[in-house]
């Protein structure tokens, strides 16, 4: 489709985001379910194994030497092991995962609250987004590596249900589902919830990341605000 | 009119404009909706997808489940389909609000769309006449017949709002705040299935709408929804 047509159609994302954020409020919680609602077969979508030498080595050693780095617009950059992350204030939630393709599955996620982690790192006042960089690459292009990445704004970053999940259904995340860490942003669609999170960065704008739309799928035509 | 025919001003400008904008929106929403369906061409009931036992699954021997000539864009493109769908959803809802406000404030809803008790008493014979493709002529055609009124009311105040409600229910952001909607429809996947089934009911309405229009006189019918003037052919010619 022509760029002009696309640019016009893309205006709707702004209207939807504005109306949803104003009418629905910042603090609403996504519904939480009971253990009996958990899906017996939760589809693993997107990358199911980054399969790089570095990642495979981490899997082999049980992520013992793995560290999540938190950098960018923070006073105290952090390097946290999985054990460190497990010691941070955590949340367990049984939530429904809605994929942009149309299907839904329910699982129990346990992880470190992103708000607690960001509090420890002490965000600088000009931090407007949190970027998540992942271990997997999908299709590289001439202008970017195809590395999966995502960005969320501070409303979602500080939301109580936004966690870096290390456990799924009571057990550590499997490779298929994003080991060692999967982001949960429960009021948006599944593609925002990056798997294989390796590095977090507080940023002012995502315009200079990859193709500048704020995420791997956003760079390929999907909406940055995935509330609908 | 000079040849003895009578013309009545049946469709005010707002009704005509909203009708055509609505028709365009529904076409784009249907075709882009089928594109979106192609991303996961199976429907379920309840909250989650039970992949092993869908309610309906679409498939084809080769190529996409819904053929590309029926989707917008006309190739596999979920991102593109969503762009068209959500842009035209805004136009559809805005246009619908204008229509509903007008039809309520102008009393058209009670004066033109609501069936009279007399009409409802004779609904049986109206059904029989329609099945014989015998449409009211002359003075009888001055007002909407009872089947027209009921079907328009069902579409305007039933099916179309249901499309919006089931559509919004699928939004995880809406679900967080208005979870009662998800519960009313029986779960997020039920809302998705109902969204599709209601769309198919609208397609069925459209087909009947077209057949009725053709059988009742396409030129007369089209002229009335474009210019507003509905010509009633009087059997008697004035000398």
Q: What is the pLDDT of residues B168-204, one digit of tens each?
A: 999 999 999 999 999 999 999 999 999 999 999 999 9
In a domain, B15, yes or no: yes
The domain spans of chain A are: 29-220
Domain with B116, as residue range(s), is: 6-28+88-232
Picking from B67, B108, B88, the residue whose alpha carbon sits closest to that of residue B23 is B88
CA distances from A15 to A111, A147, B80, B218, B234 (A): 32, 29, 17, 39, 51
Q: Do A76 and A121 meet the contact criterion of CB atoms below 8 Å apart?
A: yes
pLDDT values of chain A reduced to their tens digit, one per residue, 228 residues: 788 899 999 999 999 999 999 988 889 999 999 999 999 999 999 999 999 999 999 999 999 999 999 999 999 999 999 999 999 999 999 999 999 999 999 999 999 999 999 999 999 999 999 999 999 999 887 777 899 999 999 999 999 999 999 999 999 999 999 999 999 999 999 999 999 999 999 999 999 999 999 999 999 999 999 999
In a domain, B74, yes or no: no
**B235, pLDDT greater than 60:** no
Mean pLDDT of B159-169: 98
Partner-chain contact B177 A39, CB within 8 Å: no
What whole-number distance in Å separates Cα of residue A226 and Cα of residue B1? 58
What confidence score (pLDDT) does residue B236 get? 54
CA distances from B161 to B39, B97, B156 (A): 25, 10, 7
- Residues of chain A in contact with residue B56, where contact means CB-CB under 8 angstroms, are none
Quick check: B178 contacting A, CB < 8 Å?
yes
Block residue for tokens 């925002």: A192
Q: Do A62 and A124 meet the contact criterion of CB atoms below 8 Å apart?
A: no
What whole-number distance in Å separates Cα of residue B41 and Cα of residue B92? 25
What confidence score (pLDDT) does residue B239 get? 46
Partner-chain contact A43 B192, CB within 8 Å: no
* Mutation for testing the B interface, residue in A102, A190, A226 having most B CBs under 10 Å: A102
- Residues of chain A in contact with residue B176, where contact means CB-CB under 8 angstroms, are 24, 28-31, 186-187
Q: Do A111 and A90 meet the contact criterion of CB atoms below 8 Å apart?
A: yes
Partner-chain contact A31 B182, CB within 8 Å: yes
Block residue for tokens 């999540």: A68
Q: What is the pLDDT of residues A22-62, one digit of tens each?
A: 988 889 999 999 999 999 999 999 999 999 999 999 999 99
Question: Quick one: pLDDT band at residue B208, thresholds 50, 70, 90?
Answer: very high
Given A28, A33, A186, which is nearest B177 (Cβ)?
A28
Q: What is the pLDDT of residues B101-117, one digit of tens each?
A: 999 999 999 999 999 99
Residues forming beta bridges with residue B56, ordered by sequence position: B43
A&B contacts, CB < 8 Å: 113
Q: What is the pLDDT of residues B77-90, one digit of tens each?
A: 999 999 999 999 99
Least confidently predicted of B126-135, B156-165, B203-212: B126-135
Name the domain count of chain B: 1
Measured at the alpha carbon of residue A202, what is the angle toward residues A198 and A206, in degrees to the nearest 5? 95
Question: A interface toward B at CB cutoff 8 Å?
Answer: 1, 6, 8-13, 15-16, 20, 23-25, 28-31, 33, 37, 39, 41, 43, 96, 98-106, 186-189, 217, 220-223, 227-228
Partner-chain contact A103 B189, CB within 8 Å: yes
In a domain, B42, yes or no: no
**B41, pLDDT greater than 70:** yes
What whole-number distance in Å separates Cα of residue B165 and Cα of residue B156? 13
What confidence score (pLDDT) does residue A73 get? 98
Distance from CA of B89 to the nearest CA of A (A): 9
Q: Do A192 and A226 meet the contact criterion of CB atoms below 8 Å apart?
A: yes
By C-alpha distance, the chain B residue nearest A5 is B84
What confidence score (pLDDT) does residue B209 get? 95
Block residue for tokens 């809302």: B191
CATH architecture of A29-220: Alpha-Beta Complex (3.90)
In a domain, B64, yes or no: no
Mean pLDDT of B47-62: 95
């Amino acid at each position: 489709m022509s760029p002009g047509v696309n640019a016009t159609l893309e205006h709707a994302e702004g209207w939807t985001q504005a109306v949803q954020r104003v009418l629905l409020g910042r603090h609403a919680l996504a519904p939480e379910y009971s253990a009996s609602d958990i899906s017996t077969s939760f589809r693993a979508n997107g990358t199911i194994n980054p399969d790089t030498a570095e990642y495979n080595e981490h899997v082999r050693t049980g992520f013992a030497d793995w560290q999540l780095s938190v950098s960018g617009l923070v006073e105290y950059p952090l390097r946290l092991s999985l054990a460190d992350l497990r010691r941070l204030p955590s949340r367990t939630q049984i939530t429904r995962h809605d994929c942009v393709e149309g299907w839904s599955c329910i699982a129990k996620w346990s992880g470190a609250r992103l708000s607690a982690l960001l509090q420890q790192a002490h965000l600088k006042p000009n931090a407007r987004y949190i970027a998540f960089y992942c271990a997997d690459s999908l299709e590289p292009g001439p202008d970017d590596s195809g590395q999966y990445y995502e960005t969320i704004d501070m409303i979602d970053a500080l939301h109580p249900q936004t966690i870096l999940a290390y456990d799924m259904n009571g057990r550590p995340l499997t490779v298929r589902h994003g080991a060692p860490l999967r982001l949960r942003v429960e009021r948006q669609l599944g593609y925002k919830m990056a798997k294989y999170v390796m590095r977090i960065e507080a940023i002012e704008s995502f315009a200079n990341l990859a193709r500048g739309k704020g995420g791997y799928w956003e760079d390929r035509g999907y909406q940055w605000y995935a509330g609908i | 009119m000079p040849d003895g025919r009578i013309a009545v001003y049946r469709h005010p400008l707002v009704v005509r404009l909203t009708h055509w904008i609505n028709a365009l929106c529904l076409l784009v929403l249907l075709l882009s909706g089928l594109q979106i369906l192609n991303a996961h061409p199976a429907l379920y009931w309840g909250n989650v997808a039970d992949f092993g036992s869908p309610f309906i699954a679409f498939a084809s021997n080769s190529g996409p489940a819904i053929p590309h000539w029926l989707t917008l864009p006309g190739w596999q493109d979920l991102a593109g389909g969503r762009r068209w769908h959500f842009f035209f959803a805004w136009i559809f809802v805005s246009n619908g609000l204008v229509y509903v406000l007008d039809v309520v404030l102008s009393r058209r809803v009670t004066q033109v769309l609501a069936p009279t008790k007399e009409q409802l008493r004779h609904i049986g014979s109206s059904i029989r006449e329609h099945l014989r493709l015998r449409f009211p002529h002359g003075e009888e055609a001055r007002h909407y017949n009872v089947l027209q009124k009921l079907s328009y009311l069902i579409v305007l105040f039933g099916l179309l709002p249901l499309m919006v409600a089931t559509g919004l229910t699928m939004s995880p952001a809406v679900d967080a705040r208005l979870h009662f909607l998800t519960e009313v429809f029986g779960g997020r996947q039920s809302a998705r299935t109902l969204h599709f089934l209601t769309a198919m009911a609208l397609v069925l309405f459209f087909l009947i709408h077209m057949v009725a229009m053709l059988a009742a006189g396409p030129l007369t019918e089209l002229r009335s929804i474009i210019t507003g003037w509905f010509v009633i052919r009087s059997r008697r010619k004035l000398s």
